[in-house]
Amino acid sequence: MPDISIIIPFFNERNTLEKAINSVLIQDFKNWELILVNDGSTDDSLSIAQNFESSRIHILSQKNQGVSAARNRGADHASGKWLIFLDADDLLLGDALDNYYGKMSNTNAGLIRSSYTRRVCLENQNWIEEKNRKTAKIPGSFAILTKVFFEVGGYDVDFCYGENSELFRRLEFKKIMTSHLDKDTLIYFDKEGTQSKNIHAIISSNKLLIEKYKEYFEYYPKEKQVYLQILGVCYLRIGDYKAANEILWNAYLLNKLNFRTLARWVLSLSPYVSEKIYPRRVKYINE
């Protein structure tokens, strides 16, 4: 039985998948299995995955259902004690599994979190690197006991954005013990504008989060205000000023001492000024 199951979901990742897989193959630590989940790719990603022949590599295919469903599918087939999820466009550092296993062998925690290195692609296609970042909720920067993953219900497949943060919220509610690994384990590639391309997914997932944890947010209105502000700004960025106006006003009512929220609400009254501060990144979904 492997100690660690690494799960890489992929959907049309022909340009990065091979590198992600190789970042697992070069690990110093060897008692692992790799589960590749093809989430309905229409390019040659599956063929790339099939080029890797190893008894420790398992390939699953499903119709396109989203990254959360793909990760859950991989976890269902995992035989390792621990799970590490990795996105197909990121890389594990060569000693990542060694460092994780060292912590796994000396902890009673159900979750291990590490730090990561972020590489950002600028518009001129040059890369800049930020090292020694704090822990985050990014696949590859945490390991979770398989039994704990299933105890909290795995990934919520309704979330198309922020699914890792939502998973961590349930881990916190369950008071799952967390251990911190003071090592970088991941190279996370971040292209400028990625968030803008996903802006409708951000809106959908944040609305779902607010509804799913409705009772929780009644006790923590300031936290709800944060998510409402995110929604309001997203609506400003797509030019839906009516929705932005309503949401930002509701956010302001939750904490009238937050004048930044009030300022954003005022912006929603003036589309011309708002667009100067929050340039429209994508079209309104009904346009």
Model pLDDT for residues 213-263, shown as the tens digit of each residue: 999 999 999 999 999 999 999 999 999 999 999 999 999 999 999 999 999
Instruction: Write out the two tokens for 103.
Output: 């912590």
Arithmetic mean of pLDDT, 45-68? 96
Closest CA to 100 of 220, 18, 11, 182: 182
Give the confidence band of 120 by pLDDT, cuts at 50, 70, 90. low
Which structural domains are found in the chain, ordered by start?
4-192 (3.90.550.10), 195-277 (1.25.40)
CB neighbours (10 Å) of residue 242?
9
Asked whether the predicted pLDDT for residue 53 surpasses 90, the reply is: no
The answer to whether 217 and 224 have CB atoms below 8 angstroms apart is: yes
**191 falls in which pLDDT band (50, 70, 90)?**
low
Taking residues 70-78, report their average pLDDT: 98
Task: Check if the beta carbon of residue 93 is closer than 8 Å to that of residue 185.
Answer: yes
Average pLDDT of the chain? 91
Which one, of 214, 213, 114, lies nearest residue 173 by Cα?
213
pLDDT at 49 over 80: yes
Number of neighbouring beta carbons within 10 Å of residue 211? 9
Residues 29-57, mean pLDDT to the nearest whole number: 96
Q: Which residue has the higher pLDDT, 272 or 196?
A: 272
Q: In Å, how far are 17, 55, 225, 227, 242 from 212, measured between CA atoms? A: 33, 41, 15, 13, 24
More confidently predicted of 127 and 188: 188
How does residue 126 score in pLDDT terms, banded at 50, 70 and 90? low
Question: What mean pLDDT do residues 193-199 have?
Answer: 58
Is 276 buried (19+), middle (13-18) or exposed (0-12) by CB count in 10 A?
A: exposed
Q: Is residue 129 over pLDDT 90?
A: no
